[in-house]
Structure 1
Amino acid sequence: MTEDLDARAKELDRAHVFHSWLAQAGLDLPVVAGGSGTTVWDHAGNRMLDFSSQLVNVNIGHQHPKVVAAIQEQAAELATIGPATAHLKRGEAAARIVAKAPEGFSKVFFTNGGADAIENAMRMARLSTGRDTVLSTYRSYHGNTGGAIVATGDWRRMPNQYARGHAHFFGPYLYRSEFWATTPEEESARALHHLERVIQAEGPQTIAAVLLESVPGTAGVLIPPPGYLAGVRALCDKHGIVLILDEVMAGFGRTGRWFAFDGYDVVPDLITFAKGVNSGYVPIGGVIISDPIAEVFDERVFPGGLTYSGHPLAAASIVASIDAMESEGIVDHAAVIGASAIGPGLLDLAHRHPLVGEVRGEGVFWVAEMVSDRDTREPLPAAGMGALKKEIIARGVMPMIVENRLHVVPPCVVTPDEVAQALAVFDEALTVVGSA
């Protein structure tokens, strides 16, 4: 009977569901019927350790009882209400969020997710400066709505170039440096010089915002080198440019901090969030607004809004998530498990497997970059990455594979034993693929 449910789920999926970022023919996607903590399972009870956190968003783990209960309680009280109302849970959610932000941030604009958070942050920057251009890096992903996808630097923007006022630059990435750098300090200094030249070439008076992921995630968990984010802040201050830091993936525990930028001596003007704020239990995102930008709209209408802005079920889930993460020490745990288990374990794999070119990360936000040749750093081809993914799944771990990288991004609640289990699977899979 349970096998019938799995078969029915696949049948309906193939017949009626149109999937994002995939060619539709021939899909054979895993069935997920339930989950708890770091584990998911199908109707037949086959279990997988989730080291993808789905789309790097289930920070608190699957089916956290306090978050589920909060959603249920709110649904019983009031399932939905429009944004042009004052609602207690919405206010409590905003208060919880700004309590984690730097001093000088008092307001939150709620959206439906990360992409429309980016859209509205760019809108705020443009309206508050009277300028148009947004600069963002080529190695970035900011979402799949009109402006956010063009702000994105990778290939996904190319079929979607219909938003105005965007230009791109190269951010730091020492392993594949665009700047012939050999040290993190050189990479930082040369990347900042490059950005300043782009600002000069585009015209500082035309640039509304620099938009950066604090730690670029989909592009490869690119840890900022020393001084880089502070240097970007200084350039923005010099030219009157708004600094938007995208914390959609990196925020709320992923790096072992509430916000990733807390570790890099920088305070932005606008902060976007989604994903980890409530682990995606109900769709929500938003913009945390610095007081000077919020004040621009004290007597001026902000021309933006969404039907589900600050949805009560989502707001309740935020309150419960942040409270649980605080009371259970989940953010601190993410920092410790990264430093004591995930990082050392991946470095050990790199020492023993020539396919692993570089390991980088922090908290529960790591990447093992795969190469076919360590000397040339030639990326492992798609066929090799496909084989690696197949071997990992066959051993009961749900991985996240992006281009030539294995992203190791479990929920923040992952245990040392679960890390050891996943590392053993990666070890076996790398052995098989490396000997092929």
Structure 2
Amino acid sequence: MASENPDWEKLIESLEYEESLGKQLSVEDAELLNELRRIKEDSASTYVNLSKFNTDKSWIDFLSRIAIEKSLPHIPEEQVVIRKLSNRSLIVKISAAAAIVCMLLAGVFFYYSKNNHEKPILISNVKEVIQPGGNKATLTLGNGTKIDLTAAAVGQVAKLGGVTVIKDKDGQVVYNTVSAQPSAVSYNTITTPRGGQYKIILPDGSDVVLNSMSSLKFPTVFSKNERLVTLTGEGYFEVKRNEKAAFKVSVNGKQEVEVLGTHFNIMAYDDEPLIKTTLLEGSVRIRSDKSSEGLILKPGQQALLSPSGELNMKELADLDQVVAWKNGLTSFSKSDIKSIMRQVARWYDVEVEYRPGIPDRSFSGDIPRGSSISSLLKILELNDIHFIVEGKKIIVMP
């Protein structure tokens, strides 16, 4: 196991000690010190990144140091000050160690059970076939016309009576009312595919971000008394306050969320066991199709609707985890592997298959949504879960 104070840290201490005495380091010594400091910084970052996951600490500590210690020569314990550090081979070895640390930071930890006789992940195939999602959506107008927002140029993409639909430079869709008396109201639907998300600014100025495999149906002009939209999948809402017209979200025909002005997230995928409505700011009322009374949420609370129509509420300690997806992260907190892989399937547009004997354990961690699928899978493998990738299918194995 790695020592508490490895040899390469002693080298840093020695050189920094000479600096503190006011001595001018040679060019090679200064180069060596900079290289060692970079290794120390990268190693610390690696340890912090890995320690977010439910992995045995001693194993993490070993992984975060072994690449460096295997690449450096042994320095005697009693050697406090090193005066001759101009050995070029030592610098080469340290540079190689730094490169290994960078690989560790990228998540290149890859090991298998001795009893695993199946084909391992082929990294080259994974990168070519499976890609992370991005800004993708289709807008369906009231007359049935479909507009591919991913391919559409910046500027006006449609005109609907007194309303213009614009794709701005940030890649989001904005509805602008340009006439005091718009023509008859029609309904538009924005839909994201697997591996897609999109932001839309509704006619009332409210912001909605749709996660992958989601849709939002809304009128081109809201009425004076009510603002009603229909959601499937997952969406994050920042609702423009209007006390005269409540904002209502109909969710999968099973739940209605009513607000005046607030920030909240609704997760309502068909393959998830519960519909989850989480309040970040303001106040919302939740009603199920089997209950007229419902619940009133305060910030930090989450409503849970079961398939049977039972509505419950719980307090949340980590709101950031709920909306991590809109902030560019794949996030999981004490989640089982199937819950995580449902996120993976939607964002990376893959099919997931499970082999018998998957261990029942929970995972916690964050990884940028732009990360390669191989980086994510390798992190999960630190917990003794293994994968085979066949085209766009991921097989989960014990």
Give the structure-2-normalised TM-score: 0.28
**Computing the radius of gyration over CA atoms, which structure comes out larger, 1 or 2?**
2
Higher strand share: 2
Higher helix share: 1
Which structure is higher in RCO with an 8 Å CA cutoff and minimum separation 6? 1
